[in-house]
Copies of this chain bind each other. A is one copy, B any other.
Amino acid sequence: MEHDFHNWLRNHTSIQGLGKSVILGIGDDGAILPESSAHTVVTTDTIAEGTHFDTSIHSLEQIGRKAIAVNLSDIAAMGAMPTHAVLTLLMPRHFSLDEAIQLYSGILEIASNYNVTIIGGDTNRWDGNLVIGATLIGQRSPSISGWKLDGAQAADRVVVSGSFGGSISGHHLSFEPRIELANYLAGRYEIHAATDVSDSLSLDLQLLANASNVGLDIEAEKIPISNSLKAANSPKPLDGALYDGEDFELILTVAPAVFERIKLDSDVPCQLTDIGEVTPKEQGLRILDSHGTPNPMIPRGYIH
């Protein structure tokens, strides 16, 4: 099966357009990329059975897709364009050739959709459960700055893409990483801070605030609630939006004047919502109710 799988892989990765920005690709000890006038962005994320997916519920195509999508979300949070990926796969011994191909089909489809060339990897069988690791490489123009976890500045608006909550009902597998949005904004507007919501909106807001040494005032009523969470008729949809996690939306902070310009730009490729303001650190993380009354926000998230 190992041999058949590698043959399949070679045939299906070569059609992905090696040669485009690759000097040497899959099959050697390493890949070689040409010299570049852009900055190189590198991010890595591993997903594992029982923690990030459940092979008894999710299809192998969905799982393969997710392994790439979570990394693309990090690339988006850097304001960068993805270009290349390397993969590592630990497959259970009982995996068949057909199962390995299903998994890789999900990987190759999303890679192709985002113009990511798979340039190498490492596949092993072992006695444990399925583990898929990916390192994504991207490019960003040296003229772009910001997009940093510690970049939030006092009086910035806190802006989020999309909506939040209930991702466990499927969105954590099917989400589109915010690559298009990130690249639209990165080329046009000065973004101070950026991160993606993997743990939960509240936890990732906390990470950003702590890194930036600021407080945040978040207005409860402005947080966009996902349709799946609305449809679930949860008694506390706000809790779902703050704590569910794996939304893979972007949190950005921008100067108020910049956000005024973004609001007037009808070409922004997805919904952006202003949910609050960057405040002095002493105020901490606060959630403001409909009367504007602040309460401390206690961050928590989905425990994998």
> Taking the nearest CB of chain B, how far is it from the CB of A299, in angstroms?
13
Tell me which residues from 27 to 81 in chain A have a Cβ below 8 Å from any Cβ of chain B: 27-46, 48-51, 74-75, 77-78, 80
Residue from the list B32, B121, B135, B211 in contact with A140, Cβ < 8 A: B32
List B contacts of A276 (CB < 8 A): none
| Contact of A201 with B by CB under 8 A | no
Q: In the complex, which of the residues B46, B127, B135 contacts A90, with contact meaning CB atoms closer than 8 Å?
A: B46
Q: Which residues of B contact A122 (CB under 8 A)?
A: 44-46
- B49, B74, B78, B137: the one contacting A42 at CB < 8 Å is B137
Q: Is the CB of B126 within 8 A of A87?
A: no
Across the interface, A78 reaches (CB within 8 A) one of B28, B50, B119, B304, namely B28
A37 and B39 in contact, given A27-B149, A45-B122, A78-B30 (Cβ under 8 angstroms) = no
Closest B residue by C-beta to A73: B29
Tell me the bound Cα distance from A46 to B89 in angstroms. Answer: 8
A88 engages B119 (CB within 8 Å): no
The answer on a CB contact under 8 Å between A126 and B37 is no
Q: What B residues does A101 contact at CB under 8 A?
A: none
Tell me if A196 is interfacial: C-beta within 8 Å of chain B: yes
* Nearest B residue to A207, CB-CB: B27
A136 CB → nearest B CB, Å = 8
Determine if B195 and A29 form an interchain contact, defined as CB atoms under 8 angstroms apart: yes
Q: Which residue of B lies closest to A88 (CB)?
A: B46
Q: Report if A120 contacts B (CB, 8 A).
A: yes
Interface string of A128-147 (1 = CB under 8 A from B): 11010101111010100000
Task: Flag if B48 contacts A42 (CB, 8 Å).
Answer: no
Cβ-based interface call for A115 (8 A): no
